[in-house]
Amino acid sequence: MLELAAVQGVSTEEQNVDHSPLAIRGLTVSYGQKPAVFSVDMTVQPGAMTAIIGPNGAGKSTILKAALGIVSPLSGQVMVYGQPLDDQRARIAYVPQRASVDWDFPTRVIDVVLMGLSRQLGLLGRVRARHKARAMDCLNRVGMREFADRQIGQLSGGQQQRVFLARALAQDADLYLLDEPFAGVDAATEKAIIAVLKSLKEAGKTVVVVHHDLATVTDYFDHVFLINTRKVAEGPVAQAFTVETLQAAYGGRLATAQIDQISRALG
C-alpha cells in the first residue's frame, strides 16, 4: 500500500491516513539516551490481522504504547480513524502484557472484565444486571465463564491472559491492540485466543498483535510489520514476511534452522 501511495502521489497517502484504523507518522520514542523507536511510519489496514514482529528490545511494545498515549513520543503523529487519539478512545481496546500488573490485586475475574465497561459506566454509574450479563458473555467467549467469581491471583497465566482479552471484548471496540498475548500461555489458551481474534476479524474489526513466535506468523496473520528500532518492512505476509526482511530485522540473531523453517513455511 505504501509503495502504491508513493506511485500515485500525496492524495492516496492522505486517504490512507484517513481510512486507516491506526496511522503513525514519524514516531520517535526514547526512554533514555538511545531511541526505542526511531522515525517510524505505520499504516494499519482496516479489517486485517497485523503482527508486529522484531527482536527483543526492537520497540514493538513501545509502538503500541505510543499509539495509545501510554508513553509520550519525542516526535511523531498518531491518527486513529483519521482523528486524534483522544477523540477516538472509545473505538480502541488494549490488552497489556500480562506481567505489567500485580495479579495479587484484591479483585475478582468479573470485576476486571467490568473495567472494560467503565467508559460506559462513567464515574458513579451503577453496575446493573445488563452490564454483568455483558461481562459474563465476554468471559464465555474466552471460555472463562465458570471463573467469574475467582480472585485473579488464583488463575494460571493463560487464564489471566484470557481475562484480559475478555476485558478488551467488553470494550466493544473497532481496533484491538494486543501486547504479546501468547507469551507464556498454554496451548489451549493460544487456541482460544486466536479463535477469538479471528472471529473479531470476521466481524470486520481490526486487530494488531505484538508477536514473538515467527513459526505461527503465516498461520495467524495476514499483515506484518517488521521493526528493529526503525521500520524494516510492512505489508501482506506474502510480501513483507520473507527471509530477506527477517534477516534485515533480526540480523545475525536468527538461527539458520529458524530461517530454514520459515522458508519452508513460506513455500
Partner 1 sequence: MSGEEFVPLSLTPLLIGTFAAIACALPGNFLVLRKQALIGDAISHVVLPGIVVAFLLTGAISTWPMMLGAAGAAVVAVVMIEAIRRLGQIEPGAAMGVVFTTMFAGGVLLLEQTDTSTVHLDVEHALYGNLESLIWLDATGWSSLLDVQALAGLPPELPRIALTLTGVILFTWLFWRPLKISTFDEGFARTIGIRTGALGLALVITAAIAAVAAFDAVGSIIVIAMFICPPSAARMMTNRLETQIVWSVIFATVSAVSGYVLAGYGPLWLGAADAVSAAGMIATISGLILALTAALGPCRARTGAPSHA
Side chain identity, residue 11: S
Give residues 228-247 in contact with partner 1 (rule: CB under 8 A).
Answer: none
Q: Give me the least distance between CB of 150 and partner 1, in Å please.
A: 9
| Residue 101 vs 215, nearer CB to partner 1 | 101
- The binder of partner 1 chosen from 60, 162, 167, 211 (CB under 8 A): 167
Torsion sign, CA atoms 188, 106, 165, 44: negative
Size of the residue set binding partner 1 (CB under 8 A): 30
- The binder of partner 1 chosen from 27, 37, 52, 112 (CB under 8 A): 112
Task: Assess 106 for contact with partner 1 (CB under 8 A).
Answer: yes
| Residue 77 vs 118, nearer CB to partner 1 | 118
Upper half-sphere CA count for residue 123 (Cβ side, 13 Å): 0
| Residue 118 vs 258, nearer CB to partner 1 | 118
| Residue 115 vs 259, nearer CB to partner 1 | 115
- The binder of partner 1 chosen from 8, 100, 199, 239 (CB under 8 A): 100
Q: If you search the block for the grid coordinates 470485576, which residue do you land on?
A: 111
Q: Which long-range contacts (CB under 8 A, 24 or more apart) does 137-141 make?
A: 138/113, 138/166, 138/167, 138/169, 138/170, 139/109, 139/110, 139/113, 139/163, 139/166, 141/166, 141/169, 141/196, 141/199
Give residues 43-82 in contact with partner 1 (rule: CB under 8 A).
Answer: 65, 68-70
CA-to-CA distance for 112 and 140, rounded, in angstroms?
14
Q: If you search the block for the grid coordinates 526505542, which residue do you land on?
A: 36
| Residue 23 vs 68, nearer CB to partner 1 | 68
CA-to-CA distance for 249 and 232, rounded, in angstroms?
6
| Residue 115 vs 136, nearer CB to partner 1 | 115
73 in helix, strand or coil? Answer: coil
- The binder of partner 1 chosen from 12, 118, 218, 258 (CB under 8 A): 118
Q: Is the Cβ–Cβ distance between 225 and 231 less than 8 Å?
A: yes
Alpha carbon distances (Å) from 10 to 16, 24, 45, 82: 10, 16, 18, 15
Task: Assess 121 for contact with partner 1 (CB under 8 A).
Answer: yes
> Interface residues with partner 1 (CB under 8 A)?
31, 65, 68-70, 86, 89, 92, 94, 96, 100-102, 104-108, 111-112, 115, 118-119, 121, 123-124, 151, 153, 167, 171
